[in-house]
Amino acid sequence: MSATYRILDEPRPGTLGHLVVNPVFPLLSLMMGGAWLGVPWFIFNGFAMGSTTRRKETALAVLLVPMTLLLILLLGTLVRLEVLTAASAPYAGVGITVWKLAVGYVLFNLQQRGFALHEYYGGVVRNGALVLVASIFLGPRVLMALIGGNRLLLTLLG
């Protein structure tokens, strides 16, 4: 009889385990480049790392876009009902940015523990700085080319 020892909260990297980055890079890309790169990067990093919370991370990341759309629609409705004036709407729109950053911070915290274990036990860690810098400088051009200048999509994915 063969017994196997396994720590339940230890990450189990998959075939893409050599592409794991510190979760700070997806967080910074969400902050600086936009949700179009930060959210998929968080999902990819969780699966590559074999994060024990990857289902929770994926669910939260996938909910980011529809909830952002809901917030945009709520803001538009409040302006149409004249609860908010046209002058105050941009200030209320900051809440959308705060929402995206809060979700990014929660995703970062969910991945950080698994990443620390991955790194401690000798897992390969890549530097995500090049992708981050490219997303900052090239991201707006790529995003505008993809969405064709649609302001709603820019707010959702930016």
The predicted-structure confidence for 67-106, as pLDDT tens digits, reads as follows 998 998 999 899 999 998 888 888 888 999 999 999 999 9
Query: If pLDDT is split at 50, 70 and 90, which confidence band does 6 have?
Result: low
Residue 7 has pLDDT above 70, yes or no: no
- pLDDT, tens digit, for every residue of 107-150? 999 999 889 888 887 888 899 999 889 888 887 777 777 777 67
pLDDT at residue 136, as a whole number: 83
What is the distance between the alpha carbons of residues 154 and 94, in angstroms, rounded to a whole number? 14
Query: If pLDDT is split at 50, 70 and 90, which confidence band does 45 have?
Result: very high
What is the distance between the alpha carbons of residues 20 and 123, in angstroms, rounded to a whole number? 8
pLDDT at residue 124, as a whole number: 85
Name, in order, each residue with C-beta under 8 angstroms of 112's C-beta and a sequence gap of 6 or more.
23
pLDDT at residue 71, as a whole number: 92
State both tokens at 123: 């897992």
